[in-house]
Structure 1
Amino acid sequence: MRIALGLQYDGSPYSGWQTQVNQNTIQDELEKALSAFVGVGALKSNPIRVITAGRTDTGVHALGQVIHFDVDVERENWSWVRGVNSFLPESIVVNWAQPVPPEFSARYSAHERTYIYALHAGPCRSPMTTNRAGYVMLPSDRWFDVKAMQQAAECLIGEHDFTSFRSSECQSKTPVKTIYSIEIFSSEPWLYFKIKGNAFLHHMVRNLVGSFIQIGVGKQKLEWMAEVLAAKDRSIAAPTFSPDGLYLAQIAYPEHFLIPKPWLTNSWLPKEIFA
């Protein structure tokens, strides 16, 4: 049978989601926990391998990650949650579990992904936000030009070639993606970016955030964002911004799969950005 799980995790101790040789990854921890819960005897002919909705990078967090796997044993939904969590480190938790039809794919059935970037700014960084938020040093009497950033975001909405915001290591077959919405929430000393799209390129959100910051602090004019997008040249966009404040917040699926909503209120982020 095929089972879907909803996950939350602190990505700071890990080298990203995907299994890598001699690296500590979230996928490795999850597959190890699933195997321990199911039992070695049940895995001899069919080791558990999980498919994820989004392969988060090193240091990136998740509030609403979704995965699926196929297994030959049956358990109650809550048994999957409690059982797998008992074998996971404190930095990873399963929030829900449910059977799904064989045509469901955590990756390919998804039609919308939402990322949130949390940014802290001020004259001094806060040790309380280490690994939880990005940081920009600003004098106490200055703040971002939020209106300029919001106007700059307008050119990004819709289907575009996002080569200028694509990592050189990106494995996507096409740089063409669709962004549905970009919202920017300002509450000094915090700034939050909420970006929804059908899919994202490697480092795309972090590269967008870095470019927004260049506009927000006045180093670039708001029209610069459209120029960068049109150039299809990664070298002219801003440097890739820190992974610390990036959260995979939610994955959306067709309603007939009945995939639960993530437990977004379980995070320290303000509730209004989840509306």
Structure 2
Amino acid sequence: MEPLRYKLIVQYDGTHFAGFQIQPHDRTVQGEIQRALKIMTKGKEVIIHGSGRTDSGVHAKGQVIHFDYPIEIPVKNMQRALNSLTTDEIFVQEVSLVDADFHARYNTSGKKYQYRVDLNAIPDPFKRLYTLHHPYPIDMKKLKDALKDLEGEHDFSSFCASNSGREDKVRTVYEASVYEDTFNNELVFTFRGNGFLYNMVRIFVGTLLQIANGLRPADEIQRLLEVKDRNQAGPTAKPQGLYLMEVYYDSSKAKKGTDYQEDSVLGEQVQDELDHSIK
């Protein structure tokens, strides 16, 4: 039987992971999911492919991955098994079967990120892993005006880590916005685009906060887009405030009629094996 390709939407708390991508000596999200899949296949390696990398400390509410699995398992059973075998830091939100040519990374048409900034004067220990603490005055009008300058197609060389290695730094930002979460006294930035360079969102935030504080002029974004020099932009904001929210695809390529019934003979046999392996 030919392997089936599964597409998953995964949430994770990135605090105690050295990023998404597998590394030889560090704990990663990819490594944790592949460990669970190896248990399910009784020792056979299953390689997963993500829509993109997230750095150490960065979180995800809508990371997309795919992998080829050697036997047919109903999507609900696949979800149940993985959620049983991974730690509580990872949750498989959705599972679907897709065509063999679907690729979680190469078929993406865009992504959505959010970044959360805690404005409280005193640091909250319960927010330290999920927001950037920034207890300084914010000029919301200057901030919103500067965000608008990021929208559209631009060369974002000034907002890309110098060691990224990518030559083409032209991207299109469809949305760059912010709102005040008054209940939590936080700023919530949203960025949607057709692609993002390494550390691009975090450099956006580091620069925008300096504009909102009055440390940089209101038209600074326009100047930085013109000079194309990372050294002239603001600092890279810390990773813990960043969330990958959603990944967009032109078409899901999901197969029809392959969400097998839970009471199918195949489903019962596979689930019995999975329940036994989990125990």
Q: The TM-score by the shorter chain falls in which range?
A: 0.7 to 0.9
Match of 1:80 in 2: 78
Measured after TM superposition, the shift of residue 171 of structure 1 is 4.2
Match of 1:7 in 2: 10
Aligned-residue CA RMSD (Å): 1.4
Distance in 2, matches of 1:224 and 1:173, equals: 24
Identity of aligned residues (%): 34
Whether 2:163 is the aligned partner of 1:160: answer: no
Measured after TM superposition, the shift of residue 187 of structure 1 is 3.2
Unaligned runs of 5+ in 2: 256-279
Q: What is the letter of the counterpart of residue 177 of structure 1?
A: R
Q: What is the letter of the counterpart of residue 53 of structure 1?
A: S
Distance in 2, matches of 1:73 and 1:172, equals: 38
Q: What secondary structure is seen at the aligned counterpart in 2 of 1:48?
A: coil
Q: What secondary structure is seen at the aligned counterpart in 2 of 1:86?
A: helix
Deviations 1:78-97 (A, max 9, x none): 11111011110110111111
Q: What is the letter of the counterpart of residue 149 of structure 2?
A: C
Whether 2:149 is the aligned partner of 1:146: answer: no
Match of 2:219 in 1: 223
Match of 2:97 in 1: 99
Distance 1:49 1:173, change over 3 A: farther
Measured after TM superposition, the shift of residue 20 of structure 1 is 1.6
Q: What secondary structure is seen at the aligned counterpart in 2 of 1:11?
A: coil
Match of 1:24 in 2: 27
Give the 5 Å matches for 1:48-127: 48-127=46-125
Unaligned runs of 5+ in 1: 260-275
Match of 2:179 in 1: 185
| Deviation >3 Å, runs of 4+ | none
Distance in 2, matches of 1:39 and 1:77, equals: 19
Q: What is the letter of the counterpart of residue 124 of structure 2?
A: S
User: Which of 1 and 2 has greater Rg?
Assistant: 2
Distance 1:78 1:172, change over 3 A: farther
Measured after TM superposition, the shift of residue 255 of structure 1 is 3.7
Q: TM-score, normalised by structure 2?
A: 0.86
Q: What is the letter of the counterpart of residue 178 of structure 1?
A: T
Whether 2:253 is the aligned partner of 1:245: answer: no
Distance in 1, matches of 2:217 and 2:111, equals: 29
Measured after TM superposition, the shift of residue 165 of structure 1 is 0.8
The one of 192, 201, 208 aligned to 2:204: 208
Match of 2:262 in 1: none
Deviations 1:165-205 (A, max 9, x none): 11123244521111111111013421010000011111100
Q: What is the letter of the counterpart of residue 31 of structure 1?
A: Q
Q: Is the 8 A contact 1:116 1:195 kept in 2?
A: yes
Q: What is the letter of the counterpart of residue 147 of structure 1?
A: K
Size of the aligned set, in residue pairs, is: 250
Distance 1:258 1:179, change over 3 A: farther
Match of 2:250 in 1: 254
Q: Is the 8 A contact 1:122 1:137 kept in 2?
A: yes
Distance in 2, matches of 1:28 and 1:197, equals: 28
Q: Is the 8 A contact 1:146 1:186 kept in 2?
A: no
Distance in 2, matches of 1:125 and 1:156, equals: 30
Q: What is the letter of the counterpart of residue 66 of structure 2?
A: H
Q: Is the 8 A contact 2:9 2:65 kept in 1?
A: yes
Give the 5 Å matches for 1:118-137: 118-137=116-135
Q: What secondary structure is seen at the aligned counterpart in 1 of 2:108?
A: coil
Distance 1:106 1:256, change over 3 A: closer
Q: What is the letter of the counterpart of residue 20 of structure 1?
A: Q
Distance in 2, matches of 1:122 and 1:131, equals: 15
Measured after TM superposition, the shift of residue 206 of structure 1 is 0.2
The one of 164, 168, 183 aligned to 1:174: 168
